[in-house]
Structure 1
Amino acid sequence: MTAYTPLNTLPYPQSTDAANLPLHLQSLAEAIDGRTILRFGTAALRDAAIANPVAGMVAWLATPGQLTHYTGTVWAPVAPVPVFKANNDAGSTVSTTAVEILTDSSTTAVTAAFTAPPTGQAIVTLGAYMYSSAAYGSYMSATIYKASDKSVFLASSADRAAVVNSVNRSSCSHQFLVTGLTAGTVYNAVPCFWSANAASTATFDTMFIRVDPVM
C-alpha cells in the first residue's frame, strides 16, 4: 500500500506494492509537479495550463519577468514590484483638459504597467520640471487604465496632481494612493498634462512616474 511523506504527502511505494517502477515514478512526478516553481511565457499561458490552481502554487512569467503565487483566490506577485518610467523629452500644452501627448515631444505617452497586489492598492508618484508662460497653473497627474480593455479606472484630477503656478522652472512632484484595484489584474498608469488657462503654455521636462504596489 502506497505511503505518503508527512509534510507534502508525496507518495512512495512499500515493499508489498506491485513491482511497477514506471507507475511509482509517475505518481511521484505528478505529486511534485504542482509544488515546483512553474514556468510560463505569459499569464494567459499559465491560466490555460492550470485550470484549477491550488493556494500556494508559484509560477514564473517570462513576460513581464515576474514571480507569481496563487492566494487561493487570484494569482498575485510574490512581492511588490515597483515600476518606474521616465521621459526626458520636453514638451508643452495649452490644453485645459488632460492630454497624454505633449506638443513638441517626439515620444509617445509614457505607460507604467503594473499588476494589482492582493490588497488592491498602489502608490503612484509622478513629477517633472514644470513652468508656465504666464501666472497660471501647470498640472501633471495620471490616469489609471485597466490594461485588458483600456477602460478608465481612475481619471486624472487636479486633486492628484503636481502643480506649478509660476513662470519660473520648478521641480515638482506628487504622490497619491489608488485603492479598489482588482488583485492580479494588470493596469496602466499614464501621465497626463494640462494648463489652467488656454492663454498660458504649460511646459514639462524630465517627466517620471513610479507605481509601488502595496502589499
Structure 2
Amino acid sequence: MLTDQWQGFTGLPDYTDPSNIPTYLKNLFDFLGARAIPRYNTVADRDAELASPANGQLAWVAADSTLYMRSGGAWGPALRGGLRRGVKVVATSAQSIPTGESTPTRFDQIEADAALNSAGMWSTADRYNVVIPVSGFYLIQATFSYASGTGSRINRIMVNGQPVREWSWGSANSYYVTSASHMRYLSAGATVRIDHYQGSGSALNTHSQDYPSLEVALLG
C-alpha cells in the first residue's frame, strides 16, 4: 500500500498489491467520509449514523440549522444557521399602559425589512413575545418611551416570563426614550418581551413616533 502525503491515508493500492477494487474504494470513501460534512434531518439521525465520531468530525443538522463539531468527546455547535438570526419588532401604535401594574408591550410590526424576522421569531399571532429559534448567546436591545405624564417608570426585559434586566427613571410631564441591552444564553423555544410599570396615578400612552422596540440577535 502507498501512503498519501495528505492526512496519512494508507489505502492507496500500489502496482504490486492484489487486485481488490471494492476494498480499495471502500477505504477511500471511509477516509473521505470521515473528513466530509454529512447532512442529517435531526440530531437523532446524526447520532445513529455517527455512533463513534472522532474529534473534529463535522455534521450539519437541518432541524435546528446548525453545523456541529465533535470536540472533547461531545457534539457542540460550530456554526448556527449560516444565515442571520435576529428580529427587530416595533410598536408604532400607541398602547395604553395602566398605572400600578406590569404590562407587556404589544408590538405591531417588524421594522423596515421583513427578512429580519429570520426563522419566524415574531408574528401577529403573539404580538408580545419574540421566540428563540435555536439555542445560543443572544443580544437583546429594548427601547421604550411614553408620550407624556409624571411618576416613576420601570422597564423590564423578560425571558420566559421572568425579569432578567430592569431599569427605571422618573418623568416631568415629558416623554423619555430609554433603552437597555442584555446578553444571555437562551434555549430554543424561549420567549423574550418587554414589560413596563408606571406609577403616575392614571393610564399613560406609549409614544407613537419614538416608539418602543425590541431587537434580539444571535451572537453565536
Question: Fold-level match, TM-score > 0.5?
Answer: yes
- Flag the 1:208–1:30 CA change in 2: closer, same or farther, 3 A: same
Match of 1:32 in 2: 32
- Matched residue type, 2:78: P
Bigger RCO (CA 8 Å, 6+ sep): 1
- Matched residue type, 1:53: P
Match of 2:163 in 1: 156
Contact map agreement 1:77 1:115 (CA 8 A) in 2: no
Match of 1:210 in 2: 216
State the 1:37 CA deviation: 1.9
Contact map agreement 2:145 2:212 (CA 8 A) in 1: no
Deviations 1:130-177 (A, max 9, x none): 22754221413131x5xxxxxx8xx324xx235454364443321234
Tell me how many residue pairs correspond in the alignment.
192
CA distance in 1, matches of 2:89, 2:28: 52
- Flag the 1:187–1:71 CA change in 2: closer, same or farther, 3 A: farther
Equivalent of 2:140 in 87, 110, 125: 125
Shift >6 Å, 4+ stretches: 79-82
Contact map agreement 2:97 2:198 (CA 8 A) in 1: no
Please, what is the CA RMSD of the aligned residues? 3.7
Contact map agreement 2:89 2:215 (CA 8 A) in 1: no
Contact map agreement 1:141 1:162 (CA 8 A) in 2: no
Question: Where does the alignment leave 5 or more consecutive residues of structure 2 unmatched?
Answer: 110-123
- Matched residue type, 1:86: K
Question: Where does the alignment leave 5 or more consecutive residues of structure 1 unmatched?
Answer: 117-121, 146-151
- Matched residue type, 1:76: P
- Flag the 1:58–1:201 CA change in 2: closer, same or farther, 3 A: farther
- Matched residue type, 1:130: S
CA distance in 2, matches of 1:128, 1:22: 64
- Matched residue type, 2:196: W
- Flag the 1:30–1:98 CA change in 2: closer, same or farther, 3 A: farther
Match of 2:21 in 1: 21
- Flag the 1:46–1:66 CA change in 2: closer, same or farther, 3 A: same
